[in-house]
Amino acid sequence: MILTGGRSLNGETVRAGLAQWYRQRAPYDRDLERLEAETRAARPRLWAEAVRVSPWEWRKKREAGT
């Protein structure tokens, strides 16, 4: 979804530390890659914890029953 000023909703949620770049869905999106790297370095919200599990990793473990 494109927001005013040409910004993307995906990019803004990644920039805010509320989401991460899902490489399987957008493997060539260099803007999301860059935004995630910048956000990880700043360590807000999602990135504040030293140990975290990506949603797709959590689902895989849950489906496997572990």
Q: Give me the tens of pLDDT residue by residue for the chain, a chain 66 residues long.
A: 899 899 999 999 999 988 889 888 999 999 999 999 999 888 888 778 777 778 888 888 889 886
* Model pLDDT, residue 30: 95
Neighbours of 22 (CB within 10 A): 15
What dihedral angle (degrees, nearest 10) is formed by the CA atoms of 36, 1, 60, 54? 20
* Model pLDDT, residue 53: 79
DSSP letters, 1-66, are -B-GGG-BHHHHHHHTTS----TTT-TT-HHHHHHHHHHHHH--GGGSSSS---HHHHHHHHHHT-
* Model pLDDT, residue 31: 94
| CA angle in degrees (0–180, nearest 5) for 62-64-65 | 65
